[in-house]
Structure formats: C-alpha cells, structure tokens
Amino acid sequence: MIGSAEIIRRARQAGIVVPAFNIPYLPMVEPIVRAVADEDCFALIQVARLEWEKFGSGSLEAVAEEFRRHEDPEHVRLHLDHIPVIDEDHRRVDFLPLIRRAIAAGYQSVMVDGSRLELEANIRATREVAELAHLAGIPCEAELGAVLGHEEGPLPPYEELFASGRGFTDPEEARRFVRESGCDWLSVAIGNIHGAVSKAQRDQKKVEARLALEHLDKLARSTGIPLVLHGGSGIRPEDLRKAFPRGIAKLNVGTELRQAYEGALRRGGAKEAREAVRLRTRELLRETYGLSGSRGRL
C-alpha cells in the first residue's frame, strides 16, 4: 500500500490536491469515504483535537475505529489533524502523548501545530513530533504563520487582514523552519482562515476568502516540500484551482461538511444528515476541486 507521504509527494508533482476531510461527528466517516470512492479520487480522513473536545467525534481512537469499519485503501488514508502546543483557548497542551496515541491507533500521518509559539519554540516542538513520526514510518505536518478563525470572538475585518498580510507565513522563516524541524508538509497562511468553532459562531457562513498566490509562489520556492492549505471551506474556487499547481498538495475541509451535516440533522435526522454529507462531498470533489477520476494520477 502506498503511504501518505508518497501520495502527497505525487500530488505536488502532478499539480493536483488531496483533500483532507475533518470528522467532527463519527457518522460522517462512511458517507465521505463513499463519496470519494464514487468520484474515483483520493482523500484523507482526519480529526483534530478540537473535534473531540468541542464536537462529537469522541476521541482519536474512536475516529480510527470508525475509519477501519469503512476503510477503502484505494481511495483514503487516516490523518491526525491539529494537535496544538497551545490551543485556541490559549491553554498549553501535552501534545506528545496525543501523537503517541495516534501512532498506536494506526494513523498514517500526524500534525503538530506550534503556530502560536515563537519560531524557535515551534521548530523544537515540531522536531520532536517529526522524530516520533519518522520512527513510525509516517510523515509529519506542521504549521507556520497564523491561520486565524478558531479563537473565541469575531475576526478583524477580512479585507483588512488580507491587505495587511497579517499572519502570512514568512518565506525566509519557512525555509529555516523546514530545514531545522524536519517536517514533511507545511501548513501556510496566505489569506485562508479557519471556520469558527465557538458555539456562538459555528453556524455562521464563512467569509469568502481569497489567496495571495504570488506569496504562495515564494513559499513553494523557499520550502521545496508539499504545502497545506487549512480553512479550505469558503475560499474562492478560482483561487483554489490556481493554488494546486503552485504547491498546495493537501487541502483541509471542515466547515462546509460539518454545517451540511448539522443542518440536515436538525431538519430531518441521521439518515438525511449522512446523505447531505455524501452529496456535498461529491459536489466539492467534482465541481469545486475538479478531482473526479484523478486517483490514477497518484
């Protein structure tokens, strides 16, 4: 079976993307896997710490168990998303035990998020996780820059954020970070924002974001590794399609499918919610990302 590192490397070479779908609720796993297979493309199934802390995914082990029930090795792999060193509530997290648990549970790639740390501390934390991951034969994702949205309270005006470049990943810092941390994939900030997770804001439509594509070009040149775009929901489709051949090889998608699930659950019930997720996943893969039939290229 081809590993996650090789699949993402091939995606970068081919100029296409591997979407990574977040699982805030366990019943979302099966319809997402089925949709990916129906479109004959490739994706990651992933869960972040905040999704078992603030939503209904239970634990990283619960998601791994559900994944195994519906696993389709031709189309999906399992990824551990956002394990923060400092979380969205500004609490220090004991992150290494979570990484060890994920490796023991069979996750095929892992992510540590030290982006709220100073550069030196982020490098040190990422290096620790990368060494653990590489000993297990799996890749490590990291984050540099400020992809906002998970924090409590409203964001500053988006146009103000974009125009100022506030939080954008610095290309020279990224060059050093990749060299010294040993990470395999790097999540970057280029205008993308996370979906809100606070109870007061999680149902709101995301701001339509756009991407600083020339800045992305600089990051791709300075790092030389596959880049990751978090906050994939709500970004202008034309910007997404331009970003894939520029080095974005993994795209995180959470808010659109979570809101589809929650809305259908309120209106109809569990069966309707699963079907809403399946249909929306197929629509994204086919129409927004243009990935139908792309599995053979990986």
Burial group, residue 205, by CB count within 10 angstroms (0-12, 13-18, 19+): exposed
Contact in structure between 75 and 43 (CB atoms under 8 Å): yes
Contact in structure between 232 and 251 (CB atoms under 8 Å): yes
CA atoms of 161 and 183, how far apart (whole Å): 27
Burial group, residue 72, by CB count within 10 angstroms (0-12, 13-18, 19+): middle
CA atoms of 182 and 140, how far apart (whole Å): 8
3-class SS of residue 122: helix
CA atoms of 223 and 162, how far apart (whole Å): 22
Tell me if residue 217 is catalytic.
no
Catalytic: which of 38, 81, 94, 170?
81
CA angle, residues 21, 25, 30, in degrees to nearest 5: 65
Burial group, residue 157, by CB count within 10 angstroms (0-12, 13-18, 19+): exposed
Please identify every residue annotated as catalytic. Answer: 81
